[in-house]
């Protein structure tokens, strides 16, 4: 998973999903 | 963290499905390819444009995945695994849906539509023909936007990663999405009780086409003549 830093960051930087 | 209840409700006289409605709202706008007008047309230019577009589409699609009901409840590792397996299917399905209105052309972006000649120039004739086979299938069926958004979420949830930690949670996500598709069809296409199944049966061709695309772009990467951004590279390497 170390190799997949950008995907990890993009998923983690998520605020929780917007309240639709 | 529970998955949303599958339910059907009525808005303004139109019967809608909660999951389908959420997915319609979450559906990202298309982005522009913006090919560099100062660079003469060539295979390298076309591939550079497509790889850059794919990289930006991926960022958008990762944001989209977070809005799939139930997806954010999965562990971060399982979210990553599904995206690492299913990203190309999502990219292709979006191109396919955008191309439904045209004849023998692929709408990679509103400002980047490839016909046969351009596909040849870019060395993508075989791949684009495979994608056009999907377009043809969905055209024949009259694929609707509601069906497209659910099918795309199903493709991600069903991407068959070997690295899933909590397969029961992924199964629950698949069940919710599959149920949403079945409910939608029962309400909107009662004349064709097999329509949901027919849509699901298009997924093997999507999987096969995505595998071809990944293989093709992996060999382009090995060639080293086309610049690629980091996220696109990272996901190509995940394959």
Pairwise CA distance, residues B119 & B127, whole Å = 9
What value of ipTM does the predicted structure carry?
Answer: 0.85
Q: What is the DSSP string of B129-196?
A: HHHHHHHHHHHHHT--HHHHHHHHHHHHHT---TT-S-HHHHHHHHHHHHHHHHHHHHHH-TT-TTHH
Q: Are residues A1 and B72, on separate chains, in Cβ contact within 8 Å?
A: no
Distance from the A3 Cα atom to the nearest Cα atom in chain B, whole angstroms: 7
Average pLDDT, chain B: 94
Q: How many CB atoms lie within 10 A of CB B12?
A: 5
- Return the minimum-mean-pLDDT range out of A16-20, B4-8, B160-164, B225-229: A16-20
pLDDT at B8: 53
pLDDT at A16: 44
Q: Are residues A4 and B80, on separate chains, in Cβ contact within 8 Å?
A: yes
Identify which has the larger pLDDT, A2 or B160.
Answer: B160
**Residues of A whose CB is below 8 A from B22:** 20
Q: Can you give the length of chain B in residues?
A: 239
Q: Where are the beta strands (DSSP E) in chain B?
A: 8-11, 14-17, 106-109, 112-114
- Given a cut of 90, whether residue B220 has pLDDT beyond it is yes
**Residues of B whose CB is below 8 A from A10:** 59, 62-63, 231
Q: What does the angle CA B168 – CA B209 – CA B185 come to, to the nearest 5 degrees?
A: 55
Pairwise CA distance, residues B116 & B124, whole Å = 9
Whether the CB of A5 is below 8 Å from some CB of chain B: the reply is: yes
- Asked if B18 contacts B7 with a C-beta cutoff of 8 angstroms, the reply is yes
Pairwise CA distance, residues B100 & B98, whole Å = 6
Q: b/e string for B94-120 if b means 16 or more Cβ within 10 A?
A: bbbbbbbeeeebbbbbeebebeeebbe
pLDDT at B9: 53
Pairwise CA distance, residues B146 & B201, whole Å = 17
Distance from the A7 Cα atom to the nearest Cα atom in chain B, whole angstroms: 7
Pairwise CA distance, residues B104 & B121, whole Å = 16
- Given a cut of 70, whether residue B11 has pLDDT beyond it is no
pLDDT at A13: 81
**Residues of A whose CB is below 8 A from B24:** none
Give the three-class secondary structure for B108: strand
Best probe of the A interface among B20, B28, B54, B63, by most A CBs < 10 A, is B63
Closest residue to A17, CB basis, from B62, B66, B231: B66
């Amino acid at each position: 998973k170390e190799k997949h830093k950008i995907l990890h960051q993009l998923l983690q930087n998520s605020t929780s999903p917007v309240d639709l | 963290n529970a998955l949303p209840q599958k339910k059907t409700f009525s808005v303004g006289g139109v019967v809608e499905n909660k999951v389908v409605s959420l997915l319609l709202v979450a559906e990202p706008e298309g982005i522009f390819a913006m090919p560099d007008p100062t660079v003469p047309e060539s295979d390298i230019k076309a591939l550079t444009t497509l790889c850059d577009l794919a990289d930006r589409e991926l960022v958008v699609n990762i944001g989209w995945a977070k809005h799939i009901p139930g997806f954010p409840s999965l562990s971060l590792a399982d979210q990553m695994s599904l995206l690492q397996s299913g990203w190309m299917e999502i990219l292709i399905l979006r191109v396919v849906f955008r191309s439904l209105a045209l004849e023998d052309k692929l709408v990679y972006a509103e400002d980047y539509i490839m016909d046969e000649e351009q596909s040849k120039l870019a060395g993508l004739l075989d791949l684009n023909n495979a994608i056009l086979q999907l377009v043809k299938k969905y055209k024949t069926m009259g694929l609707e936007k509601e069906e497209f958004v659910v099918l795309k979420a199903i493709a991600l949830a069903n991407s068959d990663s070997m690295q899933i930690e909590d397969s029961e949670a992924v199964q629950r996500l698949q069940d919710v999405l599959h149920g949403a598709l079945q409910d939608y069809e029962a309400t909107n296409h009662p004349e064709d009780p097999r329509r949901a199944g027919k849509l699901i049966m298009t997924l093997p061709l999507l999987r096969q086409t995505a595998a071809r695309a990944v293989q093709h772009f992996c060999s382009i990467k090995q060639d080293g003549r086309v610049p690629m951004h980091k996220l696109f590279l990272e996901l190509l390497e995940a394959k």
